[in-house]
Amino acid sequence: MEKMWQGLGVVPGIAIGRVKLVSADLTAALEQYTAGSRDEENAKLTAALATADAELGRLAAQARQAGQPGQAEIMEAHQAMASDPELLADTGAKISQGIPAPQAVLAATKEFAAIFSGLDDPYFQERAADLRDIGRRIARILTGGETLDFGSGPVVLCAEEIEPSLAAAMPAGQVVGLVLGQGSRTSHTIIIAKAQGIPAVAGLGAAAAALPEGAEIVIDGYNGQVLLNPPAGKLAEMQAKIAAEQELRQQDGMLADLPAVTQDGRTVQLAANIGGPADMAAALKQGCEGVGLFRSEFLFMGREHPPDEEEQFNAYRRVIEQCGDKPCIIRTMDIGGDKPLPYLHIGKEDNPFLGLRAIRVSLAEPALFLTQLKAILRAGVYGRAAVMLPMVISEGEIRRARQYLGQAGAELEQQGKAYAPAVELGIMIETPAAAVMASELAGECDFFSIGTNDLVQYTLAVDRGNTAVSGLYSHFHPAVLRLIDGVIKAAHARNVWVGMCGEMAGDPLAAPLLTAMGIDELSMSAPLIPRVKAVIRQLKLSDATAVLTRALSQNDPQAVQSLLTDFLAGSRRPD
């Protein structure tokens, strides 16, 4: 019997396959496990940790070979978490109390995960899933449990929660979709699915794990619909859409070496968001024109001490050199209470997203900030480097940062080190305060980059990681569109160029609006570049301007999306 559920589309695309239930239940394996002495259990744990490290290392290496550096970094982060001293000490303490090694590691990771889940922060909540994944992996190794058999033919994995390491091991071409009871666009499992181009729907709750094994299922990652046992007519319709998607991807891939220019000559630079040098090969293959967001915080995370000037310099230089004559915009460390680092000693905060983070940390830790600025200035000798400050809300923050930039140059001069003396300084517009003060802030910097992920959250007071309210999160909300339009106008009035580096930048549906608003650059995950480029190359600026006028007069995001969908489909042109 046909049945339909409405979830949250988290990775766009359509998939047809058979239901493959994924269970993380280790009950049977734990019941059959025979425990030894405490020394023997500790020895088993040590061996299991080594095996887990090797497995995760192999998954990371495979991801890098497949051109998926983001997925590789997730697996490497799992390696680091599995060897965390506090986690291992807690596990060892439980074994010393007579608890068998598998139960000890599960209990320890569950306790740590509970701490993360209880924090009012999507980043921490999603890392709880990583901890549970690590615990189950080690317990599976200890009990001799088997890995998931994916069966044959195209399958859609269905579960309350799918572990990131399982997602990383999905056989290419066989797993065609994911249905999750929980999860958000920023969970590691979803990040991996997006990198592999696997459509996903989340937010189905307990229904995701109760779907009948082997039943035919269709998922629509665009609108979040899940259809079980579809009728023949519906199945044919969705198969036709999949074929059209595949043809479109092939056509888009042929545009890699062409610019994103409208039919009447308006050019938009398309750049890539990256987390490190390893991401550049895949980004260049997709036709990126430089880097619009280098997330430098990844260099600072997962370690006991901050990276020194030389390490940072080498990382920045490698990316800048690969950018050639295109810009490489390096965001200074966007870290704080939401991404705790052992060497920062930031106290517990009730709401870390509104606490000591980003530019506030940099200005509070001048030695750390100066080291990063000196590394960027030195790397700037090898191309077009730019410094971008996150979470700015005032002119004073920019002025202080510019003073530190000058100090960094002066220190390099004294040390006799080569550096770029004229590196551009820009800021992210990611709070309503910055958007409203755009004209004043533009007078203090060289460029803007609109960070829509936080701007939408703060403007709409919606936590996009909370499935209970994430449906309210939309960058097509009229309030958000009007803020963005105002920011671009204010910046251009002061001769400051404007880019965008949030999720909206990679949304093809938003491309006509942003192009008409006059955006100068869009920076996105590299796989999204070809589709956005194709949309821009099909546009006439006059048509895009007309649809922008109509979009800005709408009262709700759904109306805006419908308008844009019709516009791009060509079924209706603006008057």
> What's the CA gap between 276 and 76, in Å, rounded?
13
Q: What is the Rg, in whole angstroms, of the alpha carbon atoms belonging to the chain?
A: 24
CA distances to 95, 311, 312, 420, 493 from 308, in Å: 38, 6, 6, 19, 39
453 is in an annotated binding site: yes
454 is in an annotated binding site: yes
The contacts found for 299-307 with CB under 8 angstroms, 24 or more apart, are 300/333, 300/335, 300/341, 301/335, 301/339, 301/341, 302/77, 302/80, 303/341, 304/342, 304/343, 305/343, 306/341, 306/343, 306/368, 306/371
> What's the CA gap between 86 and 92, in Å, rounded?
10
CA distances to 20, 59, 94, 199, 524 from 63, in Å: 23, 6, 35, 18, 20
- Cβ atoms of 564 and 507 within 8 Å: the answer is no
430 is in an annotated binding site: yes
Catalytic residue among 78, 188, 475, 477: 188
**Phi and psi, residue 330, nearest 5°:** -100, 115
249 is in an annotated binding site: no
Which of 384, 389, 343, 388 lies closest to 363 in space, CA to CA? 389
Catalytic residue among 288, 328, 445, 501: 501
501 catalytic residue (yes or no): yes
CA distances to 61, 82, 173, 249, 341 from 50, in Å: 16, 10, 30, 41, 25
Given CA atoms 562, 566, 569, 571 in this order, what sign does their dihedral have? positive
477 catalytic residue (yes or no): no
Binding region for Mg(2+):
430, 454
Binding region for phosphoenolpyruvate:
295, 331, 453-454, 464
Binding region:
295, 331, 430, 453-454, 464
- Residues with active-site annotation: 188, 501
